[in-house]
Amino acid sequence: MATTAGVYRNGNHSRNSQSTNNNKAEKPLSFNPNPKNSLKSKSLPGSGLRRSAPSSLGTAKDDTGVPGRVRVAVRLRPRNEEEMVADADFADCVELLPEVKRLKLRKNNWDSDTYEFDEVLTEFASQKRVYEVVAKPVVESVMDGYNGTVMAYGQTGTGKTYTLGRLGEEDTSARGIMVRAMEDILADVSQETDSVSVSYLQLYMETIQDLLDPTNGNISIVEDPKSGDVSLPGASVAEIRNQKSFVELLRLGEAHRFAANTKLNTESSRSHAILMVHVKRSFKGRDSILSSETGNNPHMAKSLKPPIIRKGKLVVVDLAGSERIDKSGSGGHTLEEAKSINLSLSALGKCINALAENSSHVPIRDSKLTRLLRDSFGGSARTSLVITIGPSPRHRGETASTIMFGQRAMKVENMLKLKEEFDYKSLSRRLDIQLEKLIAEHEKQQKAFENEIERVTTEAKLQISESERTYAVELEKERLNNQKEYMESIKKLEEKWMMNQQKHAGGENIAGLKDESSNWISNGEDSRVANMEELSEMKTKLQKETLLRKAAEEEVNKLKSQLAELKKSEASAKSDISKLQKKLEDEACQKEKLEGEIAILQSQLLQISFEADETARRIDKGWYEKVPGSLDSLMLQVRQPQNNDSGNGEKASIAKLFEQVGLQRILSLLEAEDVDVRIHAVKVVANLAAEGFFLVLYQHFASPSFYGQHQLIQNCASSDIPSKTNQEKIVEAGGLKSLLMLLRSSKDETIHRVAAGAIANLAMSETNQELIMAQGGIRLLSMTAGSAEDPQTLRMVAGAIANLCGNDKLQMKLRGEGGIKALLGMVRCGHPDVLAQVARGIANFAKCESRASTQGTKNERSLLIEDGVLPWIVQNANNEASPIRRHIELALCHLAQHEVNAKDMISGGALWELVRISRDCSREDIRTLAHRTLTCSPTFQAGMSRLGIDY
């Protein structure tokens, strides 16, 4: 493939076929025109829920990415006026062949070297084209939730700032990459759910300054040891809403930018300018069942999906001129500057060389620039580099070295990773709102119901008393009437009877006086007739009376039946009331059920948060010692929970749960018949047990000597630490016993996992450790360790045993009941999280043993060696997972402390590992410990000389 006049350079040492450049048939090197397609499998919002099981969050198995090589374009600046004159008689030192993406660098008049790039941009290439081939694919990746870097490298005056930073206000076609990238970003984000913010910085003489706020000098870089993400918490961050405000910011930054004049170009800069654009986008999770308010569905929480947030970061770097500094030679503190500028740039060159050659050591920590760009080269970002060159043969040397830099960068392979996470805060907020709504709705219904019952009751009472009153009045009236009529008729009858009597007596007298015989007959006739008349009159009257009486009686009967009727209706009203009361009780029952479901819902939410935080919880003491900054932030969480939304929300939720359900009730649910209920109850207890975690950490680390600020600790103690932790409450209420019983009696894997997790959390305190041992916990945990298959269960069990291993008093018993064998047995699972816990347990145990032997209370060989731990730890001492490796390294150092173990360690191959640790271990304290042990122990000394180890 070598051309007639030169050597064909790149592609020869490529690491894989993807970076092979000289095979035309493959055509692999065009800038990926459509990253959306190539990343589809990772970036669809729907399938983006690939971390559907919360337990997989933050675990290593999700860390696979998409391979993406660093792409490099070369751009040639047109001759400037000076060159037109000075170089008029000379040809350009380069010749571009854009169709075949090659560049020829002239050696002399008859010989040249040829290089191939991903893109070759001639002096005629427009700013638009440069943006489209260099930056647009990167910007699109950032919009999809990946990190991206666009960087310009080249000699001062070759057009780096022209390419990246032109604002193009007078001539929009001249706009550079920064402005065009922001245009594309703003066009694509949603103003409601997404946010765009920028920081603009300058790195000059190993000091990072804030270009948005010149008073803000010397900003420090913070690295997240877990994710490897770098951030600059001290830098100002400006929220961008429109293009105008962004251009305004760039102008402001440019005004602040330190630019030292050089001989080559008055506008050139010796500082590195770094623009960081953070794009945060939110995608809705599926939660249709929750929002449809089905209320009584106990499984409603199962389809609950929190929204997903994707955070892409675009970094645009305008590097300082790549020329050797003596050439630009201006006065002042140039020499100092030269050193510093060379420091960052040469460190960048070294890193890229190391990455290109696939070397095991990449000196990232050598400069601030390389620390800032760790994700851009060999990291998880999509990276595009534009190298700028000038045409002048006078600068052929610089041009050649720029080209070589670009060639090496093309060999750097990145692994693109999606930066997405669940938005727990908004899920929790939504759940809270839902909960409030349910409670309010329920209260409203109950109130309405009570009112209704009250109304019906008063109405019925009123009706009854009204009827009774009218009835009594009517009855009395009727009685009086009848009585009166009766009396009157009696009186009349008496009068009549009297009158008749008198008449009789009078007639007899008169007859005696008058003609007795004649008159008597006629008188007798008359009176008889009159009597007869009177009698019949009386008879009718009597009949009338009888009728009246009958009518009265009927009236009375009618009233009586009316009364009975009323009584009946009263009884039915009463039964209505009791029915309503029954209904009310049912409602209360329903409410209780609803509350139970709300509790389950909350426990699930807590479970999600709990497991998401698990990585943090797994972090052990060693890590904190190594990274005190992180402990600071953790302490801050403990100290200022009000500043921490999610922490606060979780605490509040647990408190609410406590209030609503009560610990006793939760513990009693551990024995519920329904497996689902039991599982949720265990989860709630696990969460409650985990809540004490920060307290335990606090007690562990907040000794004045460790933290050094007495006042701070007093604040912690007085304000935010509860007087009695949930853990204590759980243990007091017999929760530990119930959890252990669940390990024994339940067959359900989930219950095993969550119960073991809760026990692991409880096992962080010394008192609980003793209780767990006394209640036969180690046997139960060993039993579970032997039977479980789910790595998460094993991780919890191993974590619990590992905690117990750290208690000096329990060593013999723990070993005697098979704890160490059980721990070792779990390595069969092979999951790195489980192995890390096993390693931690062994390290804890070894530490206690070494303490005991130092104090002279133990003289025999290590129980760990007795139980056959040595082969496994030797085999894994250099495990690639750092938590496993670190614990084992510690364990080996502790075992080696005691001379009685030395022979076994040498024959088991541990000596090699100790030597390695003393030389290579990244932790200085472990390294020193290993070194001291090796130099002090005569057995090891002898072993090393026997094995020919030169120490």
Residues annotated as binding site? 154-161
The smaller minimum CB distance to ligand ADP, of residues 174 and 186, is found at: 174
Would you count residue 149 as binding ligand ADP (CB under 6 A)? no
The verdict on 761 binding ligand ADP (CB under 6 A) reads no
Stretch that binds ligand ADP, among 157-165, 215-223, 885-893, 902-910 (CB under 6 A): 157-165
Helices (H) and strands (E) in the chain, counts: 40, 17
Among residues 32, 147, 149, 156, which is the contact residue for ligand ADP, using CB under 6 A? 156
Pairing label, strands 66-69, 413-416 = antiparallel
238 — phi, psi (to 5°)? -110, 130
CA distance 514 to 507: 10
DSSP string for residues in 699-713: HHH--HHHH--HHHH
Binding mask 570-599 for ligand ADP (x = CB under 6 A): ------------------------------
Among 9, 42, 102, 160, binds ligand ADP (CB under 6 A): 160
Query: Would you call 91 exposed, middle or buried from its count of C-beta atoms within 10 A (0-12, 13-18, 19+)?
Result: exposed
Residue 220 CB, nearest distance to ligand ADP (Å)? 27
| Residue 267 makes contact with ligand ADP by CB under 6 A | yes
From the list Mg ion, ligand ADP, none, which binds 408 (C-beta under 5 to 8 Å, kind-based)? none
Name the one range near ligand ADP by CB under 6 A: 159-167, 485-493, 761-769, 929-937: 159-167
**77/123 Cα distance (integer angstroms):** 5
Q: Which is nearer to Mg ion, 340 or 428 (CB)?
A: 340
Which string of b and e fits 615-650 if b means at least 16 CB within 10 Å? eebbbbebbbeeeeebbeebbebbbebeebeebebb
CB-CB contact of 9 with 23 (8 Å): no
Name the nearest CA neighbour of 260 among 337, 206, 191, 196: 337
Provide, rounded to whole angstroms, the least separation between the CB of residue 173 and ligand ADP.
Answer: 11
Record the tokens describing residue 15, joined without a space: 């690491």
Q: What does 798-836 look like in DSSP terms, one character per residue?
A: HHHHHHHHT-GGGHHHHHHTTHHHHHHHGGGG--HHHHH
Q: How far apart are CA 758 and CA 730, in angstroms?
A: 10
Closer CB to ligand ADP, residue 37 or residue 173? 173
* Binder of residue 77, out of ligand ADP, Mg ion, none (CB less than 5 to 8 A by kind): ligand ADP
**Please, which residues have CB within 8 angstroms of residue 855's CB and are 6 or more apart in sequence?**
none
CA distance 57 to 881: 17
Our CB check for ligand ADP shows the closer of 156 and 602 to be 156
DSSP letter for each residue of 526-578 = HHHHHHHHHHHHHHHHHHHHHHHHHHHHHHHHHHHHHHHHHHHHHHHHHHHHH
Which of 38, 197, 216, 265 binds ligand ADP (CB under 6 A)? It is 265
**Residue 222: CB minimum distance to ligand ADP, A:** 29
| Cα–Cα distance measured from residue 836 to residue 879, given in angstroms and rounded to the nearest whole number | 10
CB of 61 to ligand ADP, least distance (A): 44
**Chain-centre distance for alpha carbon 210:** 31
Q: How many chain residues interact with ligand ADP (CB under 6 A)? A: 16
Closer of 69 and 395 to ligand ADP (Cβ) = 395
Tokens coding 221: 């870089």
Residue 322 touches ligand ADP, criterion: CB under 6 A: no
User: Which positions from 365 through 394 interact with ligand ADP, judged by CB under 6 A?
Assistant: 388
Stretch that binds ligand ADP, among 63-71, 149-157, 238-246, 892-900 (CB under 6 A): 149-157
Q: Which is nearer to ligand ADP, 162 or 204 (CB)?
A: 162
Q: Give the nearest distance from C-beta 33 to ligand ADP in angstroms.
A: 23
Chain residue whose CB lies nearest Mg ion: 161
Q: Which stretch binds ligand ADP (CB under 6 A): 260-268, 374-382, 501-509, 656-664?
A: 260-268
Contacts (CB under 6 A) with ligand ADP, residues 619-658: none
609 lies in the site for ligand ADP, by CB under 6 A? no
Rule CB under 6 A: choose which of 35, 157, 379, 799 binds ligand ADP.
157
Angle at 536 between CA 530 and CA 539, to 5 degrees: 140
In SS3 terms, 719-763 reads as: HHCCCCCHHHHHHHCCHHHHHHHHHHHCCCHHHHHHHHHHHHHHC
Q: Which is nearer to ligand ADP, 271 or 937 (CB)?
A: 271
Site string for ligand ADP, 471-490 (x = CB under 6 A): --------------------
319 versus 657: smaller Cβ distance to Mg ion = 319
The answer to whether 159 contacts ligand ADP (rule: CB under 6 A) is: yes
Q: For residue 268, state whether it binds ligand ADP (rule: CB under 6 A).
A: yes
- Our CB check for ligand ADP shows the closer of 270 and 411 to be 270
**Collapsing DSSP states into helix, strand and coil, what is residue 877?**
coil
**Which one of residues 32, 158, 328, 603 is an interface residue with ligand ADP (CB under 6 A)?**
158
Which CB sits closer to ligand ADP, 54 or 390?
390
Choose between 174 and 677: whose C-beta lies nearer to ligand ADP.
174
157 binds, among Mg ion, ligand ADP, none (CB under 5 to 8 A by kind): ligand ADP
Minimum CB distance to ligand ADP smaller for 164 or for 823: 164
- Choose the stretch contacting ligand ADP; rule: CB under 6 A; options: 97-105, 156-164, 779-787, 801-809: 156-164
Cβ nearer to ligand ADP, comparing 55 with 388 = 388
Residues annotated as binding site for ATP?
Answer: 154-161
Contact present, 879 and 885 (Cβ < 8 Å): yes
Selection from ligand ADP, Mg ion, none that 265 binds (CB < 5 to 8 A by kind) is: ligand ADP
Cα–Cα–Cα angle for 928, 934, 940, rounded to 5 degrees: 165
| Integer Cα distance of 870 and 36 in angstroms | 50
Calculate the dihedral angle through the C-alpha atoms of 397, 398, 399, 400, rounding to the nearest 10 degrees: 50
Q: Find how far residue 67's CA is from the centre of its chain.
A: 27
Smaller CB distance to Mg ion: residue 308 or 387? 387
Structure tokens at 750: 């989930």
The nearest distance, CB 287 to Mg ion, in angstroms, is 50
Residue ranges of E strands in 179-242: 195-204, 207-210, 222-223, 230-231, 238-239
* Window of 50-58, 265-273, 852-860, 888-896 that interacts with ligand ADP by CB under 6 A: 265-273
For tokens 């609410």, the residue is 656
User: Which chain residues interact with Mg ion by CB under 5 A?
Assistant: 160-161, 269
With CB cut-offs between 5 and 8 Å by kind, which of ligand ADP, Mg ion, none does residue 158 bind?
ligand ADP
Contact characters 282-311, ligand ADP, x per CB under 6 A: ------------------------------
CA distances from 632 to 646, 707, 713 (A): 18, 9, 12
Among 77, 257, 368, 887, binds ligand ADP (CB under 6 A): 77
Q: Would you say 901 and 938 are in contact if contact means Cβ atoms under 8 Å apart?
A: no
- Least distance in angstroms from the C-beta of 74 to ligand ADP: 12
**Cα angle for residues 646, 652, 656 (degrees, 5° grid):** 145
Q: Which of 117, 162, 405, 940 binds ligand ADP (CB under 6 A)?
A: 162
Distances (CA, A) of 697 to 653, 711, 798, 825: 21, 18, 20, 29
Contact indicator for 808, 851 with CB cutoff of 8 Å? yes
159 binds, among ligand ADP, Mg ion, none (CB under 5 to 8 A by kind): ligand ADP
Q: Which residues bind ligand ADP (CB under 6 A)?
A: 77-78, 80, 154, 156-162, 265, 267-268, 321, 388
